[in-house]
Homo-oligomer: A and B are copies of this chain.
């Protein structure tokens, strides 16, 4: 990460070096524990130089680092419409979970809130990431105008991903990342199924998911695993 100060960087290079250094530090510990001196030292530059690039000091640097993290996250969600929905989800969620795995403390502090550097402007950045995630998912579901129930289902699942990620980090990563990823995919599928039982748009999403899926794929495996669990409910019907 550290670039010796004597190397002459362009303005853009220097700015992005400071941002990635800051993001790295903010990721390793709570933002309130990171000082501008720490960032300057880790980047091998003087404190005044950091101020020249970020005259607003730590708050501005934090927001800029957060914005660059948000851009990275939004890149994680970009997934071409190729293959089954479950495969696309595996790839996109895999990238997301890798990102939060690598940025744990900073990511937690941010999403958990209550950080002293959190403001309505940092909240807006986080909300925009959530909004982009919902746009991506709905686009893969081929829905352009979601009704309240489908929209609630997708946005609620996105918050589940955040919550489960935080619980996973907090608990010292009690299961492999891939297991968390696959469990989260199960959750989205079952949310679409139960929502689809009340809402035609969501039912159409499940139809699309089934159409795109190969026999024996993740959706088939889920159905296989679920059958014995739901069998006792037959007596209620």
> Does A46 touch B at the CB level, under 8 Å?
no
Determine whether A51 belongs to the interface, using a CB cutoff of 8 Å to chain B: no
On whether A220 and B206 interact (CB within 8 A), knowing A156-B164, A225-B198, the answer reads no
Determine if B206 and A230 form an interchain contact, defined as CB atoms under 8 angstroms apart.
yes
Bound Cα distance from A231 to B117, whole angstroms: 50
Of B114, B152, B215, B220, the residue contacting A167 (CB under 8 A) is B152
A36 at the interface (CB under 8 A from B): no
Q: Find A122's partner among B114, B157, B194, B211 (CB 8 Å cutoff).
A: B114
A234 to chain B, nearest CB (A): 8
Question: A229: which B residues are within 8 A, CB to CB?
Answer: 193, 196-197, 203, 206
* Residues from chain B with Cβ under 8 Å of A162 in the complex: 159
Q: Tell me which of B164, B175, B223, B232 contacts A237 (CB under 8 A).
A: B223
Is the Cβ of B224 less than 8 Å from the Cβ of A237?
yes
The segment from A57-65, A66-74, A182-190 found at the interface with B is A182-190
Please state the number of chain copies in the assembly: 2
Assembly CA distance A168 to B168 (angstroms): 27
Minimal Cβ-Cβ distance residue in B for A220 = B236
Place the interface of chain A in its size category.
Answer: 35 or more
Residues from chain B with a CB closer than 8 A to the CB of A75 are none
Shortest Cβ distance from residue A137 to the other chain B in the assembled complex, whole angstroms: 15
Complex CA–CA separation, A5 to B108 (angstroms):
46
Q: Name the contact of A233 in the complex, choosing from B163, B191, B220 (C-beta under 8 A).
A: B220
Residues of B close to A174: CB separation below 8 A: 148
Interface residues in A196-237 by Cβ distance below 8 A to B read: 196-198, 203, 206-207, 210-211, 213-217, 219-220, 222-226, 228-230, 232-233, 235-237
Whether, in the assembled complex, A48 has its beta carbon less than 8 Å from a beta carbon of chain B, the answer is no
- A16 interface contact, C-beta 8 A: no
**Lowest 10 CB-CB distances: which A-B pairs, in order?**
A113-B113, A197-B225, A159-B163, A114-B123, A148-B174, A220-B236, A190-B190, A186-B194, A196-B229, A190-B194
Between A and B, 25 residue pairs with Cβ closer than 8 Å are A113-B113, A114-B119, A114-B120, A114-B122, A148-B174, A152-B168, A155-B163, A155-B167, A156-B164, A157-B160, A159-B163, A183-B198, A186-B197, A187-B194, A190-B191, A190-B193, A194-B226, A196-B226, A197-B222, A197-B225, A197-B229, A206-B229, A206-B230, A206-B233, A215-B237
